[in-house]
Every structure is written in C-alpha cells, then in structure tokens.
C-alpha cells in the first residue's frame, strides 16, 4: 500500500526522507511536494485550503490504484482530512486509514489570530515562537526571503479555513499529539474520533509541537505497528477492490 505524507506549515517533502527505511517494506512512502518550498520554491504557494485539496485530488488520482493511507502533521493533518472528504465527494478511491498528527479536530477549532497578515518583523517572531523553522534560516536575509512566502501562504491556508459538517468517514483514524505541545491537548485531539465510523486511537508522545522530529523513532514504531494492521486489512479488502494487486517491494528513490 501507499502512505502519502503531507507537511506542516513551512515544511517540505524532505521531512519524510528517512521514513522509508524505518517503516514496513510493504508500505511505499510517498511524500507530497507542495508548491512554494524546496524544489518548488519558485512556484506560488496555495493560500486557501479548498483549491489545495481539489488540486491534490486531481494530481494524486493516477496514484490511487492500490490501497493507501494518508499521514499529515499540523497543517498536513487538516489537508489530509479534507482531502479524504474531497475524494469521497468526487467518488474516487478513498484512504483506508488517516494518521492525523498535532492538530485540533476541526469542529473544535479555537479562535485563530490571523498572523499571516502581520508585518515581516512580527511575522518572523511568530514563526520563531512556533519553533518549526531553523533560526539560522530566519536570521539569514537571503534564506528568509525564500521561505517567508510559503510560510505566509501556509498560515493563510490554516487561518482562513472554515469547517463544514459532513457525514463521518468510513476509514479508521489514528491521532497523535505531543505531551508538551501548547497548541493542542488530548481533549482537542480526541475530537477526531467524531469523524470516523471505523476504529479510532490516540497516542500522546513526549515532545512539543514538533515531536515528529524529536520523538521520530517512537512515532515510527507506532506507525509501523498500525500500518502492519492496516496492510493486512487492506490486503483482505483488496480481493474485492478494483485496485487489487500484489504488494511490491519499495524501490529506493
């Protein structure tokens, strides 16, 4: 099966570079390259969630030919959730599992300051406070010019998002949170349970909002266990599905 991985605000596909070696060989890790960062630094970043998930639905469609799951951290969790709902609306293949990390359930979203509108000095201080972008990047004039547009765009995607109620998803959901993350809590993460008719689990890991870096090995151990379960269920389901095919060994990229 495939595991599509979506980045946090300001992050790129490279944050998942080490994952293939640490996850089951039966899982093909597919990091999603969003515009405005890394190899796509010169492209215009998205600033709204709806066109972003509509575009992802179109771009990923040819790659939904075998069972797949989606992992997203922070902004990526929100994109993963709305992408699953977009695929359902378009009657396309749907994920067998969602891994939603470091993000409040959308129906419980607290009031959100629109920090993406801040003047550059205040915006940079806000980014530093969140601790997701290396300080040496933000203190280097040329590098800062490169990363700020995608950061502003990502913040705008999140801070202009409006949740609309829809029926529950039929895929299982696993939520993850950091025990020292001040941007969310077990209560807000537990709210993801309301979005599935299947099984739900919540794991709290040591670390702040970026526990997926500092507690990476623990997170990937848990992911491996869950993915092995999901692969088994997906294999059984695939006997009756249009994208049924043998699991292939992952190729190094």
Contact predicate 193/173, CB 8 Å: yes
For residue 31, what are its two tokens? 């990091």
Burial class for 171, CB neighbours closer than 10 Å (0-12, 13-18, 19+): buried
**Torsional sign, CA 214, 218, 224, 229:** negative
Are 227 and 69 in contact by the 8 Å Cβ rule? The answer is yes
Annotated catalytic residues are: 74
Task: Provide, for the chain, the percentages of residues in helix, strand and coil under a 3-state DSSP scheme, each rounded to the nearest 5.
Answer: 45, 15, 40
d(CA 180, CA 105): 18
């Amino acid at each position: 099966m495939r595991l599509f991985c979506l980045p946090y605000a300001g992050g790129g596909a490279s944050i998942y570079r080490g994952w293939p070696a640490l996850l089951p060989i039966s899982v093909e890790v597919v990091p999603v390259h969003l515009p405005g960062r890394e190899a796509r630094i010169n492209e215009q970043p998205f600033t709204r969630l709806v066109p972003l998930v509509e575009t992802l639905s179109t771009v990923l469609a040819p790659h939904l030919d075998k069972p797949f799951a989606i992992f997203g951290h922070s902004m990526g969790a929100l994109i993963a959730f709305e992408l699953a709902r977009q695929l359902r609306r378009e009657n396309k293949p749907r994920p067998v599992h969602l891994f939603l990390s470091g993000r409040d359930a959308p129906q419980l979203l607290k009031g959100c300051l629109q920090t993406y509108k801040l003047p550059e000095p205040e915006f940079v201080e806000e980014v530093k406070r969140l601790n997701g972008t290396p300080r040496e990047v933000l203190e280097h004039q040329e590098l800062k010019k490169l990363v700020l547009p995608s950061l502003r765009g990502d913040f705008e995607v999140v801070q202009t998002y409006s949740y609309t109620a829809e029926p529950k998803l039929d895929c299982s959901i696993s939520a993850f949170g950091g025990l020292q993350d001040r941007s969310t809590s077990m209560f807000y993460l537990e709210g993801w349970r309301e979005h599935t008719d299947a099984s739900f689990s919540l794991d709290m890991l040591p670390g702040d909002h970026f526990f997926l870096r500092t507690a990476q090995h623990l997170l990937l151990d848990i992911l491996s266990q869950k993915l092995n379960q999901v692969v088994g269920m997906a294999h059984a389901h695939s006997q009756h599905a249009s994208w049924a095919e043998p699991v292939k060994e992952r190729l190094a990229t």
